[in-house]
Amino acid sequence: MMIAMMAVYLVLLFVLVRTGIVRFNLFWKSSPFIVLLLLNLLLFIPMGWGAPQGPALVVRHAVSIVPDVAGEVIDVPVAANTPLKAGDVLFRIDPVPYDAQVKGIEAQLKLSDMRLAQMTQLLERDAGRGFDVQQRQSEVDQLNAQRDSARWNLDKTIVRAPADGYVTNVALRKGARVANLPLTPVMAFIDTSETIVGVEIAQNDARHLRTGQPVEVTFKFFPGKIYTGRVESILQAVATGQTQTSGVAVMPKEVQSAPFVVRVKLDDAEIAALLPAGSAGDAAIFTEHVKATHIIRKVLLRQIAILNYVNPF
């Protein structure tokens, strides 16, 4: 944009000199440098904090699917990268041992209920002890808890989608054995119920950012398009500013000015849902400061959007 404005000024200066309107003296010879300095000081440098721009990235929550029970997989009805709804079946584990456990506990519970009823009748006829009734009641309560736990295990033999989304890189097959260990996930589930757009803004440009400010974003996945949104939150923390519990003294390290991340919510929810995780682009945030620079930033962002047709980087 600066090059274009300087080119316009040079053409205008050339026309004025050729037509004799101005004399090509020392002032007009040095005027391009003066204009260049003024553009930087009054327009392009203030634009950094009046309408900061930074790279944008679409990210989604990924859930590592770990079954709650162990066993042999008997069915995997899902296909990779196929849209799923919350509650859809991802895979099934052989329920036979868990069903047998439920039936065994229910049989014990039936006998304990009968004995509890008998002890209660004896106590009512003054032929039994209250301790025996309490003991049988305790057995029934314990068996009820064991039955609920066994039913929960049986229900967990069917592993379901935790939200709307899809599974990717599905290598699980019928006959495989799975374990309920946190270090052995069997699927990666991508949650599409929420689209997160993050924008990196340099620290020296982030001081005027506020929640609710308007945003324009362009993505390489949709070249030539500009989408609007709002600042949802500002994550003013980076890993380099985090302290961790340790048994050693502070270790000096190189201080780097890492950018802050701004979370953006797009106005068009349908477009947000269509964006794949990892979609990259550029975004501009329009603050309440140096509003004269907003139009320049809008033009620059649209130039980037058009260049996205040919620029893969």
Q: Over the stretch 110-161, which tens digit does the pLDDT of each residue have? A: 998 888 888 888 777 777 777 778 888 889 999 999 999 999 999 999 999 9
Looking only at the bridges linking them, the beta strands covering 165-168 and 187-201 are antiparallel
As given in the structure block, the two tokens for residue 269 are 């929810």
Q: Does 216 map to a domain? A: no
More confident residue, 270 or 258: 270
Indicate if the pLDDT at residue 311 is higher than 90. Answer: no
| pLDDT recorded at residue 210 | 93
> Is 204 contained in some domain?
no
| pLDDT value at 250 more than 80 | no
The answer to the question of residue 305 being in a domain is: no
Range of the domain at 33: 1-50
Residues 28 and 136 in one domain: no
Q: Does one domain contain both 24 and 118?
A: no
Tokens of 134: 């309490």
Q: How far is CA 50 from CA 74, 109, 204, 288, 309, in A?
A: 59, 72, 11, 7, 28
Mean pLDDT (the chain, rounded): 88
The model's pTM is: 0.74
Closest CA to 176 of 162, 186, 189: 186
| Statement to judge: residues 100 and 170 lie in one domain | yes
Residue 209, number of CB atoms within 10 A of its CB? 18
Higher pLDDT, 16 or 62: 62
Residue 2 has a pLDDT of 60
Residues 44 and 71 in one domain: no
| Under 8 Å between Cβ of 12 and 22 | no
Whether 197 contacts 60, CB under 8 Å = no
Same domain, 73 and 177: yes
| 219-234: average pLDDT | 95
Q: Do 53 and 300 touch, CB atoms closer than 8 A?
A: yes
Same domain, yes or no, for 85 and 41?
no
Lookup: tokens for 80 = 């990779």
Asked whether residue 86 is assigned to any structural domain, the reply reads yes
- Claim to verify: residue 38 and residue 137 sit in the same structural domain: no
Confidence of residue 177 (pLDDT cuts 50, 70, 90): very high
266 lies in a domain? no
pLDDT category, 223, cuts 50, 70, 90?
very high
Number of domains the chain contains: 2
Residue 33 covered by a domain: yes
